Amino acid sequence: MLSLITILDLLVLLSFGFALSAIRDLRRRRGCPPGPRPLPIVGNLLDIPKESSWLAYTEFSKKYGEVVSLVSYRSS
């Protein structure tokens, strides 16, 4: 028969797995803006050159589409 600690350990692991799955599902549904796939830790840091970075951004906008902001700025 399983002890209480073993059952609690299994419940914690299952809860953690469920939480990770739910977070991943939310990210997929919400969707990220299109762009080059980031590397772990450094992200897209290596995709942008130090000089003439606007050219890289222009190429990204041609390849992945323009960035559209959903925030509107109003002066009061």
Other beta carbons within 10 Å of 27: 10
| Cα–Cα distance measured from residue 41 to residue 5, given in angstroms and rounded to the nearest whole number | 35
Q: Are residues 1 and 26 in the same domain?
A: yes
Give burial (CB, 10 Å; 0-12/13-18/19+) of 35. Answer: middle
Q: Are residues 2 and 15 in the same domain?
A: yes
**0.75 surpassed by pTM:** no
| Cα–Cα distance measured from residue 29 to residue 33, given in angstroms and rounded to the nearest whole number | 12
Q: Which domain holds residue 1?
A: 1-32
Strand, coil or helix: what is 37? Answer: coil
> What are 16-74's pLDDT values in tens digits?
998 888 877 777 766 666 667 777 788 778 877 888 888 888 887 888 776 665 555 56
Q: Are residues 1 and 19 in the same domain?
A: yes
DSSP state of 22: H
Q: Are residues 22 and 45 in the same domain?
A: no
Q: How many domains in the chain? A: 2
Q: Are residues 45 and 59 in the same domain?
A: yes
Q: Which of 42, 41, 31 is nearest to 64 (CA)?
A: 31
Q: Is residue 28 part of a domain?
A: yes
